[in-house]
Structure 1
């Protein structure tokens, strides 16, 4: 029975759900990075087990990160009780040499 903005803010209190940021256009962005075995490392590394197996250095299209974004979309959709769509893969450590974290923007569908 809470407004969407309040529900979204409460997501920060759920482990591994990051801290979503509500944008002016009604979308929201989550930033994910630096977790290894449940501990925040401060590094911007990819948490995908398939990627971790690749020999360094390598380059991967950010499109691959849609899989991770889909994981968050699923959990946010269920927790918030709304239909979501991935609007943008803003950044990824995969195509920024670890300079930027995973960052996804989602749109609420009517």
Structure 2
């Protein structure tokens, strides 16, 4: 069975590249430029959520992850925070993300992080 990934990024090009790479790696990807898929997380039932810290909308990616990790129904979903922020490791730790991917990222590194956490 394919592992499911919810991918939320603020940049359309990055979203498309990540979606394509992960699909080629055999993942079932739900990608979005907004947090809309997060609202339907109980229907999607992903193995992993990859979210950018600076997404359009009311909440930051780190806040979304913190919320997922504080709910019993979603606390076991792996979450990876992505950002260009210099303090990304600290941010990821603070919001209880399972891992992080610094941008600009190396595609092989991204694949490793996703496989390790899904």
TM-score, normalised with respect to structure 1: 0.27
Which has the larger share of helix? 2
**Structure with more contact order per residue of length (Cα contacts < 8 Å, sep ≥ 6):** 1
TM normalised by structure 2 equals 0.26
